[in-house]
Amino acid sequence: MDSFEHRDGQYYAEGVALEALAREVGTPAYVYSASTIRGHVARLREAFADLDPLICYAAKANGNLAVLTLIAEAGCGFDIVSGGELARVLRAGADPGKIVFSGVGKTAAEMEAAILAGVLVFNVESEPELELLGEVATRVGRPAGVAIRVNPDVDPKTHRYITTGKRENKFGVDLARGEVLARRAIAHKQLRLRGIQCHIGSQITEVTPYAQAVERTRDLALRLKPDAPDLEYLDMGGGYGIYYRAADAPALVDYAAAVRPIVKGCGLRLVLEPGRLIVGNAGVMLTTVLYNKQSGAKRFVIVDAGMNDLIRPSLYEGYHRIWPTRGPPPPPLGSEGGEAPADIVGPVCESADFLAIDRPLPPVEPGDVLAVMSVGAYAAVMGSNYNDRLRPPEVLVDGDRFAVVRERESIEDLMRMERPAAAYRTLGASSGETVS
Ligand code: LLP
């Protein structure tokens, strides 16, 4: 479901015409729909209603403060993976008691900040991490909630770069070691074992792997429960697929139906960590055609957005629908239409800089604005300044109004953090003592 619609010959985000918006804020620009984001949270709640899950939105998918605020206002908690994300979600109004802290490489400083903020649990992924967490909790004199992240060795059947639940992936610990770690947490004075967690991958379009992973995770939790008075959460992670190319992602009710028989009545509250599902189809990227170029039989459309603004096609062979914001309506979801195919490429000096390869596209002229669909997740957050390109603005649309919720960067922003090498110093000298 999304609120981007082609009507009367042009694309709209809710009540805002995208071409006119592009003229006003410039391109490239990311445009998010508030009602789509709210709608996804509501539909997720509805699908899982009888299980009353704790929904912890994965902030890594889209961390814009205005987006996070919308999601916090909808009552969600957050899944975070760094001290930066912790600060960000707190600034957006997150309830610390609904924050889960994931990631294989948390530092002592990040642990301390999160304990002091009062996060619900750390999703612990290794023995040394558990040990360090125990030390930090002891030092700051506050208990830390723990969920053990297990790797259930299930193939989620998604792209190999976003598979996390197989034995050869760096994430989690196997079930046997998970039990050992959990018992260590139970025995520790300053640690509270509150959950068992798994996350098997991202953009998963089959429900069966979830059922397998959740069942294995639940069985471990139930084995531990008699000895773990604080154990109350069963966290099945995120990864729910969305439509990019066709209507091929399962309906939310199908995910719920797969796990309901495993979870219902087991005495543990379900935690969900959706990222893409909430924001993925709630964003488009607007980009202007710079040039048409024909090279033999090959048609190139060169646009002003590149792999630094949307890396998913280059990195994961990600597919994003692309269509002019004005003109004929796009082909229905799942078909590409019969127009002449083009490689839609950006200005970055890399052959991997493309938004689409051999994609049917109506004739376009320099100055035309294209909409790149389904870029609400893992687009702006994965952006870079490569080739000294300015990061685009982010715009949030709500009804027939919009707000620029991140400005376009300026040339000055690009160099703000840099210094001339005028003040060399020797190791150990304070930054004030310069050595000439
Ligand atoms: N929980 C954990 C522990 C995660 O590692 C992730 C995503 C999520 C939840 C949220 O997954 P989601 O519901 O969004 O699939 N950049 C890649 C996706 C990387 C996902 C990383 N972890 C992409 O653009 O496809």
Is 312 close to ligand 1, i.e. is its CB under 6 Å away? yes
Query: What's the pLDDT score for residue 71?
Result: 98
Domains and CATH numbers, the chain: 4-31+280-415 (2.40.37.10), 34-276 (3.20.20.10)
Burial of 334 (0-12, 13-18, 19+ CB in 10 A): exposed
What is the predicted pLDDT for the residue at 432? 60
Torsional class of 22: left (φ above 0), alpha (ψ -120 to 50), beta (otherwise): alpha
Atom of ligand 1 nearest to the CA of 123: 3
Q: Whose CA is nearest to atom 19 of ligand 1?
A: 162
pTM of the model: 0.96
Contact by Cβ (8 Å): 122, 101: yes
Residue type, 128: P
**Using CA positions, which residue lies closest to atom 24 of ligand 1?**
378
Rounded Cα distance between 146 and 186, Å, is 9
Q: Is the CB of 237 under 6 A from ligand 1?
A: yes
239 CA to middle of ligand 1, Å? 6
Q: How confident is the model at residue 226, as a pLDDT?
A: 97
- DSSP notation for 312-366: HHHHH-----EEESBSSPPPPTT---SSPEEEEE-SSSSTT-EEEEEEE-----T
Q: Which position has the token pair 């948390």?
A: 106
Predicted local distance difference test score (pLDDT) of residue 2: 84
Counting every residue, how long is the chain?
436
Cβ neighbours of 121 (radius 10 Å): 25
Which stretches in the chain have pLDDT values below 70?
1, 431-436
Q: Is 29 left (phi over 0), alpha (psi -120 to 50) or beta?
A: beta
- For the segment 389-404, what is each residue's pLDDT rounded down to a tens digit? 999 999 999 999 999 9
Regarding the beta carbon of 320 and ligand 1, being less than 6 Å apart is answered: no
Listed residue (210, 212, 175) closest to 196, CA to CA: 175
Q: From the CB of 277, is ligand 1 less than 6 Å away?
A: yes
Q: Which of 252, 273, 279 best tests ligand 1's pocket when mutated (most atoms within 8 Å of CB)?
A: 273
CB 372 within 8 A of CB 355: yes
Is the Cβ atom of 316 under 6 angstroms away from ligand 1?
yes
Of 286, 288, 198, nearest to 238 by C-alpha is 198
Residue 198 bears catalytic tag: no
pLDDT at 422: 86
Ligand 1 pocket check for 238: Cβ under 6 Å: yes
How many Å apart are CA 277 and CA 253, to the nearest integer? 13
Distance CA 137, CA 100 (A): 16
Ligand 1 centre to CA of 237 (Å) is 9
Given the residues 76, 198, 266, 349, the one annotated as active site: 349
